[in-house]
Amino acid sequence: MNRIDLSGQIAVVTGAAQGIGLAVAKRLAESGAKVASWDVAGENEAAMAGLGGGAVAVRCDITDWDSVAAALAETKLKLGPVTILVNSAGIAGPNALVEDYDIAAWQQIMAINLTGAFLINRAVIPDMKAGNYGRIVNIASIAGKEGNPNAAAYSASKAGVIALTKSLGKETAGFDIAVNAVTPAAARTRIFDQMTEEHIGYMLAKIPRNRFVGVDEVAAMIAWLVSKENSFTTGAVFDLSGGRATY
């Protein structure tokens, strides 16, 4: 494993109690960053305890601004000003046709995946601007590029994350703040529990590498994106789809 130097960096990873978020938190901690996991899951404490003394668990509901602001204040008190954000929290929601899609489920997916991403990004930007440095990665999805049938809400929310990233990258380019997105193909994590077997099979059939992406593979790309070596690229979308989308 290549070592990315993140010594002295303070990283927030949302949704880091399990799955891709946990893999990212682990990789950043191994690279020298102090990590705060913002999550509502009960296993958040245990997950961060496994990463050593430089990691803390902070309870945060990313759909609620007051909760986000409180999480930021707690993180700054325990670790210091945030210099890295990786927004990993998200849900897939049910699989259904648009005309049958449950309205409450649509609103929940948008609240977590898109509004949550907005609130988290909004929270960390002022300190990054004040310090004239920051690195942000928003985890979107290949579905945000291509749109998956029977997953309109998830696809639309992740397309929104991509657009948010592009806009914010332009707004912050003059402050040595890099804001980029990654668009993974599906990874075999707990999010699969929300999907039908038919939908999982559809996603796998679309991937030329004929397998799902590994969480450690996602973490490896993100580790570079949040490093000082990524000093020029911002507002970009980095593909992790195994060849499904080459644009």
pLDDT value, residue 77? 98
Q: For position 189, what pLDDT does the model report?
A: 65
- Whole-structure pTM over 0.85, yes or no? yes
**Would you state the pLDDT for residue 27?**
96
Residues labelled as active-site residues? 154
Residue 3 has a pLDDT of 82
Q: What residues form DSSP beta bridges with 187?
A: 213
Q: Which segments of the chain have a pLDDT < 50?
A: none
pLDDT computed for residue 186 by the predictor: 74
Cα Dmax for the chain: 50
Predicted pLDDT of residue 137: 98
Domains parsed from the chain with CATH numbers? 10-237 (3.40.50.720)
pLDDT at 193: 64
C-alpha–C-alpha distance, residues 42 and 184, integer Å: 26
Two tokens, residue 165? 């990233």
Torsional sign, CA 128, 132, 137, 140: positive
68-107: per-residue pLDDT in tens?
999 999 999 999 999 999 999 999 999 999 999 999 999 9
Amino acid at 239: D
- List alpha helices for the chain, DSSP H: 19-30, 44-49, 65-78, 103-109, 116-131, 142-146, 152-171, 197-205, 215-225
